[in-house]
Structure 1
């Protein structure tokens, strides 16, 4: 691999894990605000399994879940990020881990959960990558083996975050939404169409999912704003 390519990977990682690389940055503070809002939204119950998704691709759901996982782990919680996008997985790229084995191996009884989770450089944060891409993602995610995996993970971790495919693209996210306690929907400023966001919300409702909130991603911040002023103090 060339020096230029290695540098590109490092820069991309620093951008995607800004909450770890620069925990006092304005962006990191925004993720901490999201963390707080989720905790307030779940004040009547201990929210321990959350799905992160979007209406369509390229809206920032994977970057959001990675940074949310970091700020949750920074609170001292033992966190597991699960790559449940069995069609176009990205978690192993973000955290630079192997992806030869992962959740698909657990669901097909080829491995135990503790054998295929990876520690990250962030204390208290581990990841479960997708593993080999299967021919039947929806069936695997909807299986009893998936229920068993979630049940086992909850005995080990304080919080499980599921990185799922875009809601309007495939049925996978609706399947997971029905198995977790809550969902966070990511929308991209000036990119996500209002109609698409509404349809995604409707599909979550049809899956009896509890929508904890919506993250507005890629919103430009003006230097004269109150938050910018506060963050620079």
Structure 2
């Protein structure tokens, strides 16, 4: 297995009985009950900075949603440092950037995965203008089209404090899952991310905390939902 393939293992697929997988199921349940009055169908993940686990979180969340008999599509909208084609071992010849520039149609951009009920739209070739592409009317139209075809639409986005892409995509989503590394992100950084999301009236569905130390000091929780 190559280094890139081993970077983000799908533990929810490899070890469905593990405590970490159960944590992902808990996130799924919390999202489902987070807004009983308004349907939450398009969900994006982001973080404050790179390397906090947002892509790992959204990938495993996609798996547990698919395992609950939901028809799921996962979009790699991190058009700067995409990872989903590595995680799911898919071709990245065509993808989101190809769709937005009308080089391919939706049917040719959506790829099936080894997980039943789960499809992926990879990033496609990295474009010179990612922010403008995700802000386009074509991106909005694509998301609306996917709403009609899938039960759940999940979107992986770049870190909030790095570029504006995530803030833009938040305006097109029903809710945001914010992934933070408890040992890395300072309070002021987390508050800045919250402020940026509030500026576009984004709904924060919850915060996933990575590397949360157990009270007895014997180890670390991988994920905590709040």
TM-score (norm 1): 0.89
- Structure 1: where are the runs of 5+ without partners? 1-5, 229-233
Structure 2 Cα separation of the partners of residues 66 and 7 of structure 1: 19
Q: Deviation digits for residues 110-133 of structure 1, max 9, x if unmatched?
A: 111111111111110111000011
Superposition deviation, residue 135 in structure 1: 0.8
The partner residue of 1:67 within 36, 54, 60 is: 60
Q: Contact (CA 8 Å) 2:88, 2:113: kept in 1 or not?
A: yes
Cα deviations across residues 148-191 of structure 1 (Å, max 9, x unaligned)? Answer: 11111111111111100000110100100001110010001211
How far the C-alpha of 1:219 sits from its partner, in A, is 2.4
Q: Distance in 2 between matches of 1:92 and 1:178?
A: 25
Match 1:192 to one of 175, 185, 194: 185
Which consecutive residues of structure 2, in runs of 5 or more, have no partner in the other structure?
222-226
Question: Is the helix fraction higher in 1 or 2?
Answer: 1
User: Could you give the per-residue CA deviations for residues 36-92 of structure 1, whole angstroms, max 9, x where no partner exists?
Assistant: 111111211221101100011100000000000011111100111100001111111
Deviations 1:133-158 (A, max 9, x none): 11111111011101111111111111
- Counterpart in the other structure of 1:103: 96
Quote the Cα distance in structure 2 between the aligned partners of 1:9 and 1:134: 21
The residue aligned with 2:207 is: 214
Q: Tell me the secondary structure at the aligned position of residue 107 of structure 2.
A: helix
d(CA) in 2 for partners of 1:192, 1:185: 12
Alignment partner, residue 153 of structure 1: 146
**Partner of 2:177: helix, strand, or coil?**
strand
- Shift in alpha-carbon separation, 1:11–1:141, aligned structure 2, 3 A: closer
Q: Which residue of 1 aligns with 2:23?
A: 30
**Cα distance, 1:218 vs. partner?**
2.4
Larger Rg: 1
Q: Which residue matches 2:109?
A: 116
Q: TM-score, normalised by structure 2?
A: 0.92
> Number of residues paired by the alignment?
219
